[in-house]
Each structure stands twice: as C-alpha cells, then as structure tokens.
Structure 1
Amino acid sequence: MIEPLHSLAFSVQSNPGVFAVLLGSGVSRAANIPTGWEITLDLVRKLASINGESIGTDPILWYREKYGKEPDYSDLLDALAKTQAERQQLLRPYFEPDEDDREQGWKEPTTAHRAIAELVVSGHIRVIITTNFDRLMETALADAGVVPTVLSSPDQVIGAMPLIHTSCVVFKVHGDYLDTRIRNTPTELAQYPPEFNSLLDRIFDEFGLIACGWSAEWDQALRSAMERAVSRRFSHFWALYSSPGDAASRLIAHRQASTILNTDADQFFSELQRLVNALTQFSRPHPLSKEAAIASLKQYLTDERHRIRLADLINGEVDRMIEATSGPEFAVSGSDAPDRITFTTRVRAYEAACETLLAMAAIGGYWIEDWHYEIWQRALTRLAIRRADSGYNYWIDLQLYPATLLMYALGLGAVSSGERGLHFLGDLLKTTIHRQYQELTTAVELLPANELFDISAMQHFLEGMEKRYAPLNDWIQNSLKPHFHAFHSTEAESDGAFDKLEILIGLSFGYQTKPSPYRALPGCYGYRYRNRQSIIGEIRNSIDSQLDDSPFVKSGIFGKSAAECAGALNSFTEWAKCFARWS
C-alpha cells in the first residue's frame, strides 16, 4: 500500500494549486517564536512589574484578582504601550531576531517555511492559512522572490482579489503581531468575523488541505469552519508529530483525512517538496522510479544530516528489489530447468529488477564518503542471501547475482573516482556475509563472477558468450556500462576502469583466502594484456614511491604495509602469466 506522504506528493504534483496549507503554532515554535498565549503571560508579568507587584507562579490568577477579568492581549498592549509605534517596539523582540537569535538560527524562517515557499514558486501551493502572528512565512516567500497577498483583517479580505486570480495568499486567521486585533483568548478564538468564515468556507470547499503543526484544541472557530465543509472533492492530509488529540481526531474522521505520523514540520515539508520536485522534474509515475531515486540520492549524499533518509532510500530500493525477485518467475524449483534460453532470460530479469539500485550504486560508489560505507555494506549483505536452497543448483546460485551486480557497480564507481574510492573498495570487499548453517565469509570470497559460476558453465548458458574467455565478467561489464556513461567517456576508459576493479578484486581474494599455491580470480583483464600491465605498473609505482602512504596500501585491499602489498602484487603478477594463452 502506498504511503500517505507519497500519495500526497502525487496529488500535489499532478494538481498544481489545488491544495491549501494550514499551519499551526507547531511550525513556528521550531523557530523559537512564542505562542500568543505565552506572549500574553509575559505581558502580564511586565504589567505587574510596572505596578511594583509580585505575581508569584500564576500570572493569570494575579491578573484576574487585580482586574476582575481574564487577561486580554489588546488590553495589555494598551496598558503597556499607548501608541502604535510603542506597541510595535514592545512586540518586536518576541518575533524579530536579535544578534543572539541569529547565531542560534532562531526567529528566522525554518526549513518548513522555505520548503513551502519553494512549493509556491513551483506553482504547487497558492493558499496558505496560518494561525501564527509572526511573519516567518512572508519572509520565506520574499526570500524566494514571491510577494504574497496577506490577509489578516476583515477589510483586507473584502478588498482582496478572488483566489483564482492570486499567485499566493497568506491568510492569517488570528491576525498579525503588529496589529492589536489579533485573536488569542478562548473568547476571541470562538468566533471569526463573517468575512473570514466566508473565505474559509470557500477554501475548505474548493481546495484540498495539508495541515501541519495544528492541534485543533483551542481554535473553535477554525474547527467549526472545517466541520461546516461537506465537499470532499480533494483529499485532506494531516501531518502530526504524535498521535492526534480528541479535537484533531474528530476533524480527521469528519474530513476522512490521511494522517502522516511521527514527523515534524521541517522533515515533513522538506520531504514533500523533494518528492514533488522529483516527480515534476522527471514526470514519473512513482517517486522511486530510477530518475527520481537518483535525484533523491544526489541530494542525500552531500550532507550527513541526511544519513537516515539515505539509508531509508537505499534500504527501500533493496526491499523493492527483493520483493520483485520473489515471484514464481524466480523460483528455484518447480520451474523450467536452466538452459541457454531460460538462464539468459532469468539473468536479464534480475538485471531489470536491479536497474534502479545499480544506477544509484554507480553514483554512490563514485561520490562515496566515510559515512556512506555502512549503508551500502548493509544493502550488499541483505542481497547476498540465498532465500531458497532446494532446487536447481544454478537457480539457487543465481539468487546471489543481484549482490554480485551491486558489488561490481559500487566497486566500479569507487575505482572511477580515483584515490578516494580505494578505501571504500577495501571495506566493501571485506563486507561480512552471513550464510545459514555455514561459516561467515566475505563479499570477495563469495560474490565475484568466477566464484559465482565457473567459466565453462557461463560459456554454455549465457547467450552470445560461447567463445568468451571471461563470459560472465564480460556480461557484467556490458550490463553496467549504461550506468557509467557520465564517468567513462570512451570504451578504452570503461575497459580500463573495469579491469582495474577486477585486478583489485583478484588481489583482495588472494589476500583474504591465502590459497596455497597462490591463486587470484580471472577477469576481462586476462585477455586485455596492455591494460593488465599498465594497471599492475601503476599499483607497483605507487607502492614503491609512496610506501605505506600509497592509497593502495592505506586501503587495505591486499595488505597492511607496503612490503606486504608488494609481495602480494608479485605473487599476482606471477600467477597472471597463466593468461598468456588468452592473448
């Protein structure tokens, strides 16, 4: 079942301008903006101070006993500041940042405000209803180049252009902090002016609604307006940090709204904006199509603050891939026996299921950072599991093919990035793989092409590979080429990068398994003699000139010191003479 946030993103992207946004105090609270009631209490304290009286721990009780009524925002302002200019100066510190606030990032537009502004710029949102007195939304819009129509009083509503003719409306149903007519007390929040009710009725009837940061507990008039609306031509969505209260629950039931739980305003609106942007840019039917997934990946790779989102994105694609390869067409028993047609068909089916993940891995390997390692290694570990172990042996072993493709895609990206990718490649090849009822192993021992299947079998089963020296290796390189066009501008560059990866895989295999006599793993480099000699020479020169500071040594791929790596390289070079018959 599709997630509510994804459903919302579809609706917003495909229906520009149809959804209105309702923002409660929870959106501005993240900017350290006090609520109207908090300001009222502070004004009571200031009034008591002017009178030279102590209010104790209950300012409301003091005010009630002193004046015989409940504290009123307008009365307090009149008592503390007689002119409009004085009132503005009194209120500014509550809503406008000083130097200390700016250092803390307080009283300035939040990530949520700016994400909404971007949705306005893109034309997806036009109407914003807010219960907040501050001007953070207006500031975020101004920073994005949008001049909204701001409605905070009945006369402004009367004189406003029809909604259909405005690019952006900010409807401040509780007023603006520089206007003493703000609505703050329970009595003031119980009923709106007729002009407000009329406009709200139109909005709730003609628009879908996205509510966030609003509890609905105190705003009786706004609740009533929502309850009056009977039309449900467009969906309602309600983003909540925790479970809704009674008032919100009744409205959610009345409007048949979809809830998006366990999210704050910043996370919700930034993710919504990202999804809508990805859908708009690529016009795909699903937010995790290849292009949209890549767009998200590029955004998340750059900042460690996106660690959780990056992990969710990659794990989600692994989940999708596993689900896609769990159907009867991938059964290991009770299906057609493997032959050239059925084997090739199934290999291509696995590749199709992996296409998005492999495209992501190519980019992820190339732009790898230390904090990405664990996420990609976890994905590799999850794929390197045989989910069924009874049936045709080739079908059982082929279950690991997606993990093999992922290891090669990540490794090829890492090698293509230069020195910075080698450390990741070392960790990637040493990734621990858990096998049921068997000892732990590493990725380089289990997943390379020639450990998955022997050469003669692939010559027999893979269509068009009958006369290849390294049939599955050639096949994998060809299948990955489309994902590396941005990194390899020529065939020679593509061959060189793939050969370098396979030589390093071979060196790592020899180092991890320590076979006697020594052996590594064959690959396409076996018949590309010049590439093999050039790459071995590059590695040797790096070790000889930089010793332990060589990136090949520091990566730990085939040794922990220059001497150990040089010895491994010598053993590999001697073993590689067996490829003379391939040339």
Structure 2
Amino acid sequence: MIELEPINSLALTLHHAPGVQALLLGSGISRAAGIPTGWEITIDLIKRLASVQGVMDAPDWASWYRDTYAKEPSYSEILDAIASTPAERRAVIHGYIEPTDDDDIRKPTKAHHAIAKLIASGAIRVVITTNFDRLLENALRDEGVEPTVIASVDGLLGATPLVHSRCTIVKVHGDYMDARIKNTEGELETYADEFDAILDRIFDEYGLVIAGWSGDWDIALRNAMLRCSSRRYPFYWASRGAPSSMGEDLIAHRMGTIIPVTDADTFFTQLLSKFEAVRSSSRVHPQTAAIAVAEARKISRDERLAPEWADLLRREVDLVSKFVRSEDYAKIVPSKETLNALISETLWRTEILRRVILVAARWGNDEAFRSIKLAISSLTFADMQQGGYTYTISMRRLAGSLCFYWALCGSIAREDYGRVHELLTMKLRTADERQVPAVRVMPFTTYQSVDWKILAGFETRHTPESDFFSAIFEKEASDVVINPDDGSMLWDDAEFIITMAFAYDRLPLVEERGTWFWAPVGRSAWRRASILLSERIQALQEETESSPVYRSGLLGGSAAAAAPSIAALSDFLAKNIHFF
C-alpha cells in the first residue's frame, strides 16, 4: 500500500472532491498578523489586573497570578473580572484586533491569502472560526469572493444556505464589531440551538481540516464534534507539536490524521502549492490542445487521412470511456460537491475531443463528420448497467452532450443545416434498447433527476447549465470564429435550433400518449444581451419554404409542418417564461 504524507493526501482530496472539506480556524491563524492568541491576551490581561493593584513588573506573569489567586490563569475568568458586560468585553477585544492609524501589521497573512485562493478555486466552501477578526473576509474580497458571514443567530436565520453559497464563514464566537461576542468560560460552554444545528450539519456532511486551534477552551465546539459519529470524509488536524489530550481525544473520535506543521503560513502556502500542482497536472496543456486542433483541422479535410482522424477520435473517446466505466465513477455518492467534481473531471477529459469535433464539424469532410456522429453515439454509454444513483447514471451522457453541442455549433458556423439535421435526428440507443433521436436525450435539461442549480456559482441562474457550458464554449469558439461575439451567437443559435427540434419531436408524443408538452430553453429566453427567444420564433415564422432551415429537412421541411410545434412552444413559453 502506498503511504502518502498527510498534506499530500489532503491536497488530492481538495482536488478530487472540491468543497467536501470544511476548515476550522483558531487564533493561531491570525498570529502572524499581530493579533495575539488567547494565551497572549490572557498574559496581557494579567498585567492589566496587576497594574491596578500596583504591581508593574513580574518575572513570570502566569506565576504571579497563581501565587496571588491560588488558581491557574483563566482567560475567560480574568476578562470577566476586568470587563463585566459583553459590551465592555467587546471594547477590550477591539483593541487587540483593530489596527491603529500607524499600524501596518494587522493585515491578512500568507495563510489567509492561501485559504482565500483555495476558496476562490472551489476547493473549500465552508469555514468555521473562533476568531473575531475579519482578516479572512478581507483576503477573500481580494480574490473577488464575497463570503456569507454568520456571526450571530440573527445572521444565521437570514443566511444563504450552505449549498447555495460560494463561501460561508461561521464565526462561532461572534465578530469583534458585535457586542455579543463570546469570551468567558460560561459563554463558551453552550451555543444557541440554531448554532448547534448548523455545526451538527457541517460536521456530519463535511470533512474537516483544523488549524490554529487547540481544542482546549471551546467546550461547545468540542462537544459538537463529539456529538457527530459520521466519518464520511477525512478529518485532518494541522498541529505544531503534539496535540493536547483533549485534541487527541477528538482525533481518536473522528479517526483523524495529524499533519505536523511549523506555522499556519507555511502550512497553507504549501497546501495551496500542492493543490495547484495536482490541478495543473490534470489539465490539458494549452500547447497540447492547440496542436490537436491544428492536426484535426488538417486531417479531417483530407480523405486520404481518414485513418489518422479516426485514431485521433478513438484516443480521446477512450480517455472519457475509461473514466466513466471505472469503479471510481460508479462509487460517486451524489452531492453538490461530488457532482461538481465529476463535471470538472469530464470537462478536462473532453477538452481536446470537443475542440477537434468543433473544427471538424466546421471544416471536415463527410467521412470525418460521420466519425463524429459515431463518437457521440459511443459516449451515451447505453450499454452499461443502469443500477446505482440516478444522478451519476444521467451524468454518463455529459461527454456525449458536450460533443453534440460543439458539433452542432461547428455545423452552424459552416452554415450546413443538413449536418445540423443529421445531428439532431441521428438515432441513439437508450438503456431500454430503444432508438431515439439525439435531440430527445442529448440536451442537458433532459437528464433524469439532475437539477443544474448544483453548478457552483450558478445556483441562482434561470438557466444555469446554459450559462455554465456556454462560457466554456465561448472560450473555445476561437477555433472556428474570429470575433468573440460570434461564438456567443453560435451558442444561442444552437440552443434555439435544439429548442425547436425538441418541440417538433415532442408534439407527436403529446398527441399520441397524452404526455405533457415542454421544451428545453437556453439563456436567450432570459437575457437581454442576446436575441430573445420570442424574436427568434417570430423570425422563423417569417421564413419561406426556400430557407436553409426548411430545405435541410428540419422541422418537417416546411413552414406548414413546423407551425403546430411552433404554436405549442409559444404557448408553453407564454406560461413559463414571465417576459416571453
């Protein structure tokens, strides 16, 4: 068995399962920013307590406290004595955290910036912290991420749900600008029921990476971890030296792994570096993709090079097939994080494939185009067993759908509606051995049970799948267009043709089987920056019989044949798109 260093194992986890690990950050994270730890604040508070008793110097302030009060120094107890109300305590803590006018130290550290980059990349989405400061929030804003911050029950009740937030920071002890911060031992013994509930959910549904936290003082937080028996994701504890006995108890309870560290800055910068190295190794090198595109542009046009073109497609299809048919794919438990990881994996495995298909659909000969259709057909994986999670079974089609859309866009750029018609109507085998037209099963919105609002960063979009995949296509459209706006238009054209062809295919099923009518709509149904779907439909209704669309055989080959499906689609859109 191969033994990996814990930090390497963590880096791989962050890459292959982005978002499944939460962070728990303690005061040690902010130490390099000049913000003292709890013990350092305790010693300073002892000095203040001694000063009002006329004691201005002592060789060891902790020993002075023990000798004077016959007990161990307690941060909570001393603070409670110095400041009797929450507002007073907030004012005391404010002085330790807020920089003065001439203070250039209390800024986000290397650790904060590294964490912010991991969050911006999607590797981490949830952070629990005992710190009152806002250093992480400031570092996140430098990366263009506005976090959801929960620092009180009020904030919790109005917060964006974890699954819909790009980043959630749970400040279990409050924020230093809020008088309700928790400091004393009594305040740290229990949390409000609402806070316990969200901690229970995080500790159950996420793995955990702990850094800068001892586990000794935060009783309620420690109890929340002990309440959770789930161990579905890894538990890591970054520790300077050996953890305390309480820390060891938590590690044993969660079957955790210790990561030895020298300091937070070094640990998180190393983790970021390793994560980025893994991510880079999994990507197609731009030069490799460019060479493949240039090769495809050449060999797909020359009939004499048909074997070379077939070999190129076969290599790239195999790269996808090995992933989808692997045991690892079958074992993926559907969650927002694992499905985003699956989509990311599929995207890099199909980058060369979809790009060479795009250029071959645009410039390739008929034999090359026939090979494209065969490649798309093979990527439906209809021959595989259908047992397992519906989400992951549906997602097997993703590679095929990407190639389908890219081929459609290439054919539209060629202005070859005959090829468009071939793609939409080519027969694909389904799991129940039926042969159905591609337009019925290739659009992203036809995937059974898949809610595309799982896409990280696109949770609130009307058409998340359209917005997400169109952004990727527009970057790669430069392989076939000159003007970037033409790539955006190509995507909208393809989605409109899919909508119309789906409606035309769907209407007979409605009439024969009594099923309900619907059609997949893309982003142009909602965004004003494009030609709206209603405008496209009106333009289609004004087309003559000699238009390329009808001459190709699309929509029955005539305006009369298309009219019923256009009417049904218009009625559907009027009821479901509020400004259609």
The two structures have a TM-score, normalised by structure 2, of 0.46
Q: Which has the larger radius of gyration?
A: 1
Report 1 or 2 for greater relative contact order, CA contacts < 8 Å, sequence distance ≥ 6: 2
